[in-house]
Structure 1
């Protein structure tokens, strides 16, 4: 088989440089990448938010290791929220359950962006903020039960 066919079978939502098959459901198709030149982004951040040149230079140098660390945290957050959802639907968690599913990048990237002496407040959908701040997942889950 052609490499492209094997790639399509392994990753049905990933199509780079070609159109997906016509019969592929939309939810499996990957949306197009947003291509914005970094220089344009830096100019807008400086103008709108007063971001310093030093901070912009640091932001432009995210390493693969840092990206992998953030992805690992996002994955943990998603798995934790899925487990919360299942426990809630089984009746093990009472009260209201406001999940953070789909917003995993916020706590994961925020935790890496603030200083250790910064104070972070989250009062809504905060399970993943606790995880990203280093709280043990078992302790967070115990609080929900």
Structure 2
């Protein structure tokens, strides 16, 4: 991975496109200043060649949404839904004064929700919707 030392421009961005399943129902949370946001987790599986005897690995991506309009929709999503999500990606460097074992003392990936589309609902959900 290479990083540039030149100053950023307003057109610079980092995006992450994810296709995976929601690990649990999206959760309503609050910042220290009582601003509401939604937290959700998408599980993706590495689909490349797997060494003999090894199992494919799952990566868990934690995404935060601070957009009230999007949050209303995110509340309706259910665990197990196959989704296509787009998020802004930010790498936060550790605080040199923090305990290295604390979250503040470690490098963190921050994913900010931009959009999401449900590709497939969980099987139980689809059967419930047909019977109603």
TM-score for both structures, normalised by structure 1: 0.18
Structure label with greater radius of gyration: 1
Higher share of residues assigned helix: 1
Higher share of residues assigned strand: 2
TM-score for both structures, normalised by structure 2: 0.19
